[in-house]
Chain A
């Protein structure tokens, strides 16, 4: 199926179509995600079995979180989720960025796994970029792995630059102005809320722009003859700077696409209380579908970025000279 045109809806559809062709690689990404989640939660899950299996008084937690029982659980096992004080700061949103590497316990494990997952995703993104740029064998896993080997490291480099930029944006827009926007000297509550939301939206805008640059840089990487990440990054920055609004809208469109299934799940999915195995099978399938759709949307954004960049290049190429008969 070929969809043409560079209008936003067309790009969105083209991205989805491109991503769908790489379904085998997407399943691989899902497997990686699930395996990492399994590994990172295994110690905590095992500790919960130690703590709760013998205790009928914990039955109140079966259906979901219970504020009082949860407080008893965390008091009886203060290190269950890591340092309690830091946990409180995370809950309040006041833990400084510099303190995150000093987390301990399951939260530290999650943080480490998060970075590993991000790095693996960046390597795989190289593979996706290669496949989207190719005219044939888009669904071939062998070709995908060959692209991972060829473009994975440059893609990781682009990702690291993106990460540094996003952390910088977080520091600039979220952390540094925090005190000022929450100041008790502000006269009205709406000033405080408004400034806080402004802080959030400024960060989201900056992060969206950075992610758009990362996407277009990877697209440039896939389209280029050499795997030079610096050149690709320069292309990505130039491309986004030339079309900032559309790039942000594209980013937002795929953001909504990724979030929508998760939101539906959180609102409508039933909770498993540990007994009914058929319900578990159903829920696990549904959950994996949700995560797969998120991965799909993320990959589709790259596909759309690639289609957009290719279309733009074709449009700017000079028309071939007329051949006189």
Chain B
């Protein structure tokens, strides 16, 4: 009876924690039961996992492929290390070693393990292991694997590791690659790409130092926490409908719990694990979570889990700003000024990942733009809505100084790197598989900034409501189904219209730039017709006469970039009259001739709809130069130079102080 009560109690507990709600889900594919013990001296997790895999693909799978992500830190020959700085000592290294892989009947598969090195890839990489099976797993069949492993976490870098007494364990256990109808889909761990995995449930028991009791952040929820022998605490966590499991602990965490109940949306327990020196940021973290859950719940779908955990890592821990299902890390600093928008912006960005990375779970190794790009755009919108337009922050001698007189509108202000990439590098289109991109900069700009600018441009061109409606439908339709770029474009075309879809495709398929320029804006008095005019007997000669009062104006707009975008061209005439023409932007150039008042200026895209335009200055041209702006800057520069010269005199030669 007691056992039954305990079982019922535990089920009820799980019921409040999970499963995900509101959104129809797919049945679990890859579920894990893990027990692991942390060794603080060696920085290792030694454990055993039972993997339950249900083959829901249409093909037989003769083997399994396991990600051993921590082997990216095993030595400097790994594929991952090509994107890392040189190691600074033994703490920089980590590993994930398979001690034993077996079937429940005791069949030992350990000797069969080989390391997967896709053709042309790095033969020294050990981040992908293939385990042939005695017999294939047929569609619909279940495979259970027992895996003993030992993982060593490196000094915090690339989303995982430790710093002092803070530990963030991400990608720490042997994990199945994604099963697809084309077989296992897994890539060696690459510095600029992230992850792709099947949904399932996780039941994880951790043996941790007793001092971290109550200070363990997990994917899902802690369902049991009990003292164990030898000054240890046994922490049991459970999560369902997730595709990864991460945890973090530190004896110095300050834990704050808040229940958020946005109007018309499900209640969510928000847990914040904060560094003591980041207390000033606490309310900004919580406000971003509170208002972000409401906003994204309306813009997308209701948040599908009953718990959300935010881990605030110490500066320099390498764990900053990373998302996992139901858990993410923020990033802030002791003196982080509110005017800079942080940690609000990063919190909203990582929170938005709960939908795109956590719930939709597209392939981040190949199509990172589907996650990072959509998240960058929608979180920029949310940040502006909740916190306003942030100011840039410069740091001098460890003190962040907000430049309050300047504003950094989102997403434009933080995405100029994408335009630099489009103007100067042009190495990769967004749709190139992420891991094939030239370098980290190409991945970062394409997946994040370029896609954010592209979506903002589409919102301004085709309307933001249709775009929101399309993204909402995309989230609803493909929740827990690992959508692809094709799925997104399909919904976009269906809901927001073919123009929106076409524009996104143009922005994603080209590595080049958008650049419209007004290359000619001229105006002269219109001369009456001269020469032989009229037909047949009415033909008459008219001598050239003095110009009339009206003006004949010519405006030429050229498309200098590869990407075509529909634009307006606004012509401004003397007396304040304006004429606006719309152009589909496809041809190399377009000319307009207008007779009327004297033309003053012409501007292409005056409402700034195409944010992918790499040169905003050449978007307009005057018929007569106006030195006002340059004069104002000349004046400012002279005063600046006078003061800098005086500073030189102080520092270099004369006494007095200005520092």
Contacts and interface: CB of A to CB of B under 8 A. Distances in A.
Interface of A: 33-34, 36-38, 40-41, 44-45, 48-49, 51-59, 61-62, 64-69, 71-73, 75-76, 91, 93, 110, 113-115, 117-119, 121-122, 125, 156, 159-160, 162-163, 166, 181-190, 192-197, 199-200, 204, 207-208, 211-212, 214-215, 251-252, 254-256, 258-259, 262, 271-275, 280, 283-284, 287, 291, 294-295, 297-298, 301-302, 305
A162 B334 CA distance: 37
Interface in B303-335: 314-318, 333-335
Nearest to A210: B655
Contacts of A284: 635
Contacts of A75: 416, 419-420, 423, 614-615
Contact of B314 (A66, A187, A193, A283): A187
Contact of A115 (B396, B412, B648): B648
Given A163-B651, A166-B652, A287-B642, 12 more contacts: A53-B622, A55-B621, A56-B620, A57-B616, A75-B615, A156-B653, A192-B398, A196-B397, A212-B655, A251-B657, A258-B650, A274-B630
Contacts of B420: 75
Interface residues of B, number: 75
A295 B316 CA distance: 43
A294 B647 CA distance: 10
B658 interface: yes
Contacts of A68: 409, 412-413, 416, 616
Interface string B72-105: 0000000000000000000000000000000000
Interface in B607-659: 614-622, 625-639, 641-659
B616 to A, nearest CB: 4
B316 A185 contact: yes
Given A91-B394, A113-B645, A189-B315, A119 B618 contact: no
A272 B632 contact: yes
Nearest to B405: A64
A208 B639 CA distance: 25
Contacts of B649: 117-118, 121, 298
A117 B394 CA distance: 29
21 contacts: A44-B637, A45-B637, A48-B634, A54-B621, A55-B618, A56-B620, A67-B409, A72-B615, A75-B615, A121-B654, A125-B653, A160-B653, A184-B163, A187-B314, A211-B654, A254-B655, A258-B650, A259-B657, A262-B658, A271-B636, A274-B628
B446 interface: no
A40 to B, nearest CB: 5
Given A68-B412, A72-B617, A254-B656, A275 B634 contact: no
B160 interface: no
Nearest to B396: A93
Given A49-B630, A62-B632, A291-B643, A259 B653 contact: no
A195 to B, nearest CB: 7
B642 A34 contact: yes
**Minimum-distance CB pairs A-B, first 9:** A255-B657, A184-B316, A189-B334, A196-B398, A274-B628, A159-B653, A114-B648, A193-B398, A274-B632
Interface of B: 163-164, 277-278, 314-318, 333-335, 392, 394, 396-399, 405-409, 412-413, 416, 419-420, 423, 572, 601, 603, 614-622, 625-639, 641-659
A33 B642 contact: yes
Contact of B625 (A53, A69, A207, A271): A53
Nearest to B392: A67
A72 B397 contact: no
Contacts of A262: 643, 658
Contacts of B646: 33, 117, 291, 294-295, 298
Contact of A255 (B277, B412, B627, B656): B656
B633 A48 contact: yes
B315 to A, nearest CB: 5
B433 to A, nearest CB: 28
A264 to B, nearest CB: 13
B285 to A, nearest CB: 15
A56 B603 contact: yes
